[in-house]
């Protein structure tokens, strides 16, 4: 009874304290679990140390084999090497990469925003006849141009506006339309200056096509397919000083010298539009693309335009210097195979031309022009074009295996050859 009373007393007073025996039992169980936990912790730690030791050993062997000169090895070297491979490796910051991409895209966007207001779509008005409805007037986009003078002077290709019997108009990027009042063609360069009646128009900025490098960014803006005005394409300059023979819609052939090549997509309708560098400067006038090949387009260097524009702005007409010969370029390969001097072979001399007056004859090989070697980069037509009317130029030539020089005074191109 006393034992039962004691149990009841403990229960009623909430003194749930274990007996000495119970303490021993509980303590033994607790001590056993603690020992097991310590053993597991020790095993985990040992495994981690083993793995880390293996990694350190591998790294040290690699470093010793590839980087350490055993003759100068010391404890200081060990400290240096340990710091080297234990130091956390830098993690490539994806934010920096994204920032670079954003900056590249931003530069193109800036160019487009800057130049697009100066780029125009050229539209031709055609009048046809329908048997049921009678005369039908249609307007078709045929090319692109860009504004070079705020008073409404626009540059395009001559093949875009060479049908003087048609009526042409231009459409600005904001949708404003102007009728073309005057057209001035320079077919040898395939350039044209057209005039509209306007004021305070935004103009483009010229670059220097002589400084263009292969691989630099090229941006084209144009009226692609004659339907999609101010279409923007981007690529690189794929080549410089190319020679190109292009055919027109009627099978006529035209040769372009020293043109720029680009992989920026050019389509019918881009003709006459600007090819730009990453600063938004015009470096070329888009002129031709290829059929059956992707991303091969060509542009006339902007430096070809500059002297024409300069004389037009001062005299109100296109004035072009003239030498009066037909020729073929003697390339480096041809010169080697045929044992000929580098230069141009004169196939024809026009009567009473500057060349004729200076004594140049058919069969002569012209080698230099004012000290510059005549070749694929410095063609005769390019150097003449870059000169001014009335300039006297010194030309060296080879005739009958003898070298001599003549002075040629360049004249204005006759209307017959305009």
Binning pLDDT at 50, 70 and 90, where does residue 51 land? confident
Residue 177, beta-bridge partner list: 171
Give the whole-angstrom CA distance, residue 348 versus residue 346: 6
Residue 344, beta-bridge partner list: 329, 366
Give the whole-angstrom CA distance, residue 38 versus residue 48: 15
| Segments making up each domain of the chain, as ranges | 2-86, 116-196, 205-315, 321-417
Catalytic residue among 118, 159, 238, 364: 159
Q: What is the DSSP letter of 151?
A: T
Tell how far CA 296 is from the center of its chain: 12
Tell how far CA 374 is from the center of its chain: 28
**Best CA proximity match to 380, nearest among 362, 367, 391:** 367
Catalytic residue among 190, 258, 353, 364: 190
Taking the CA of residue 361 as centre, how many other CA atoms within 13 Å lie in the half-sphere pointing to its CB?
6
Domains 205-315 and 321-417 belong to one CATH topology? no
Indicate the pTM of the whole model: 0.69
**Best CA proximity match to 373, nearest among 407, 327, 332:** 332
Answer yes or no: 29 catalytic. no
Taking the CA of residue 213 as centre, how many other CA atoms within 13 Å lie in the half-sphere pointing to its CB?
3
Answer yes or no: 364 catalytic. no
Compare 16 and 201 and report the one with higher pLDDT: 201
147-156: pLDDT as tens digits:
999 999 999 9
Give the whole-angstrom CA distance, residue 339 versus residue 110: 52
Answer yes or no: 184 catalytic. no
231-250: pLDDT as tens digits:
999 999 999 988 888 765 54
- Which fold does the domain 116-196 belong to in CATH? Thrombin, subunit H (2.40.10)
Binning pLDDT at 50, 70 and 90, where does residue 52 land? confident
**Best CA proximity match to 258, nearest among 376, 178, 337:** 376
Would you state the CATH architecture of domain 321-417? Roll (2.30)
pLDDT of amino acid 45:
77
- Residues 85-114 have a mean pLDDT of 69
Binning pLDDT at 50, 70 and 90, where does residue 50 land? confident
Give the whole-angstrom CA distance, residue 256 versus residue 230: 25
pLDDT of amino acid 79:
58
Compare 256 and 88 and report the one with higher pLDDT: 256
Compare 310 and 102 and report the one with higher pLDDT: 310
- pLDDT of 54 over the 90 cut: no
- Residues 5-21 have a mean pLDDT of 45
Phi and psi for 33 in degrees, rounded to 5?
-65, -40
Query: Looking at the domain covering 205-315, what would its CATH class be?
Result: mainly beta
3-class secondary structure per residue, 376-400: CCCCHHHHHHCCCCCCEEEEEEEEC
CB 273 within 8 A of CB 262: no
Catalytic residue among 158, 258, 271, 387: 271
- pLDDT of 200 over the 60 cut: yes
Given the DSSP bridges, would you call strands 281-289 and 253-262 parallel, antiparallel or unpaired? unpaired
């Amino acid at each position: 009874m006393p034992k039962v009373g004691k149990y009841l007393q403990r229960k009623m007073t909430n003194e749930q304290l274990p007996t000495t025996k119970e303490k021993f039992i509980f303590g033994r169980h607790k001590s056993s679990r603690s020992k097991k936990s310590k053993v597991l912790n020790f095993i985990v730690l040992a495994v981690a140390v083993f793995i880390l030791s293996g990694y350190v050993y591998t790294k040290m062997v690699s470093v010793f084999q590839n980087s350490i000169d055993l003759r100068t090895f010391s404890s200081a070297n060990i400290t240096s090497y340990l710091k080297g491979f234990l130091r956390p490796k830098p993690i490539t910051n994806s934010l920096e990469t994204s920032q670079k991409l954003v900056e590249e895209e931003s530069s193109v966007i800036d160019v487009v925003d800057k130049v697009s207001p100066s780029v125009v779509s050229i539209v031709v008005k055609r009048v046809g006849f329908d048997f049921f409805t009678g005369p039908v007037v249609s307007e078709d986009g045929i090319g692109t141009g860009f504004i070079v003078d705020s008073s409404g002077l626009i540059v395009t290709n001559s093949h875009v506006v060479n049908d003087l019997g048609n009526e042409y108009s231009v459409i600005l990027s904001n949708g404003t339309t102007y009728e073309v009042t005057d057209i001035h063609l320079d077919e040898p360069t395939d350039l044209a200056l057209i005039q509209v009646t306007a004021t305070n128009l935004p103009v483009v900025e010229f670059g220097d096509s002589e400084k263009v490098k292969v691989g630099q960014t090229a941006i084209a803006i144009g009226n692609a397919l004659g339907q999609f005005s101010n279409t923007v394409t981007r690529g690189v300059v794929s080549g410089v000083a190319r020679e190109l023979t292009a055919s027109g819609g009627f099978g006529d052939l035209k040769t372009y010298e020293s043109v720029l090549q680009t992989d920026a997509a050019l389509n019918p309708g881009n003709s006459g539009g600007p090819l730009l560098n990453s600063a938004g400067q015009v470096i070329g006038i888009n002129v031709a693309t290829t059929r059956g090949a992707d991303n091969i387009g060509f542009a006339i260097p902007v430096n070809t335009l500059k002297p024409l524009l300069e004389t037009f702005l001062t005299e109100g007409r296109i004035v072009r210097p003239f030498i009066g010969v037909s020729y073929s370029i003697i390339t480096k390969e041809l010169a080697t195979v045929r044992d000929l001097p580098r230069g141009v072979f004169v196939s024809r001399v026009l009567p009473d031309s500057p060349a004729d007056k200076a004594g140049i004859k058919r069969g002569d090989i012209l080698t230099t022009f004012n000290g510059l070697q005549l070749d694929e980069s410095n063609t005769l037509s390019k150097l003449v074009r870059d000169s001014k009317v009335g300039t006297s130029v010194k030309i060296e030539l080879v005739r009958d295996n003898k070298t001599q020089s003549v002075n040629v005074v360049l004249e204005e191109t006759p209307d017959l050859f305009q």
